[in-house]
């Protein structure tokens, strides 16, 4: 029942502006850094954008899938658009990769294993989810301040500080 998502299924007037609409909803980011979508997000933290399909129906599409389509034209049937950066709201096309369900499972299993090994302190706390932890680590790595991270991720500063400290300790070790 998986619907092939492609430019062909998006109304021409809509897809011509889709790319512009997508990328007007991102902050500027250094070359090849994550491009977090700043429009609407769903409950799971994925960006969502409205498109008009070829039947003229308005429907919501995940922003990263839309970004992939603007670059590649289509997502192959039964493929998942995976975030190589593991950041759900990222729409940087070079961070996206279409993979099968099986490949996707393997990618995430390998990532979780790496995370457990590299960041045991994070893992044992289990207070933030994997994505939040990776995001804090990544933002710390690119030099964002505690205040910036706390505002952007809607987390209190003490929590961000605690995870940053752990991150700095684990990369120093």
Does 65 participate in binding Zn ion (rule CB under 5 A)? Answer: no
Q: Give strand ranges (E) for the chain.
A: 5-6, 48-52, 58-62, 74-75, 79-83, 96-100
> Would you call 77 helix, strand, or coil by DSSP?
coil
Does 96 participate in binding Zn ion (rule CB under 5 A)? Answer: no
Does 63 participate in binding Zn ion (rule CB under 5 A)? Answer: no
Residue 21 or 64: the one with the smaller Cβ distance to Zn ion is: 64
The answer for residues whose C-beta is within 8 angstroms of residue 134's C-beta and 6 or more apart is 86, 87, 115
Does 79 participate in binding Zn ion (rule CB under 5 A)? Answer: no
Residue 34 or 149: the one with the smaller Cβ distance to Zn ion is: 34
The answer for residues whose C-beta is within 8 angstroms of residue 64's C-beta and 6 or more apart is 37, 46, 47, 81, 83, 88, 89, 90, 91, 96
Does 64 participate in binding Zn ion (rule CB under 5 A)? Answer: no
Cα–Cα distance for residue pair 134/115, rounded to 1 Å: 9
**Contact 22/49 with Cβ under 8 angstroms?**
yes
Pattern of binders to Zn ion over 16-35, x per CB under 5 A? Answer: ------------------x-
Q: Which of 21, 64, 65, 95 binds Zn ion (CB under 5 A)?
A: 95
| Contact region with Zn ion (CB under 5 A), list: 6-14, 48-56, 75-83, 144-152 | 75-83
Nearest approach in angstroms of CB 33 to Zn ion is: 7
Nearest approach in angstroms of CB 152 to Zn ion is: 14
Interface positions with Zn ion (CB under 5 A): 34, 82, 85, 87, 90, 92, 95
């Amino acid at each position: 029942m998986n619907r092939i998502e492609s430019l062909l299924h998006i109304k021409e007037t809509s897809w011509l502006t889709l790319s512009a609409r997508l990328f007007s909803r991102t902050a500027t980011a250094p070359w090849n850094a994550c491009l977090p979508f700043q429009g609407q997000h769903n409950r799971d933290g994925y960006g969502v954008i409205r498109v008009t399909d070829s039947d003229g129906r308005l429907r919501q599409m995940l922003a990263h899938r839309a970004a992939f389509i603007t670059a590649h034209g289509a997502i192959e049937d039964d493929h998942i658009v995976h975030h190589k950066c593991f950041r759900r709201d990222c729409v940087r096309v070079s961070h996206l990769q279409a993979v099968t369900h099986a490949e996707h499972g393997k990618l995430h299993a390998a990532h979780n294993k790496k995370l457990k090994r590299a960041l045991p302190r994070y893992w044992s706390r289990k207070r933030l989810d994997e994505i939040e932890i990776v995001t804090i680590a990544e933002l710390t790595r690119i030099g964002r301040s505690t205040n910036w991270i706390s505002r952007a991720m809607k987390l209190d500063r003490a929590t961000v500080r605690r995870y940053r400290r752990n991150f700095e300790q684990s990369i120093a070790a």
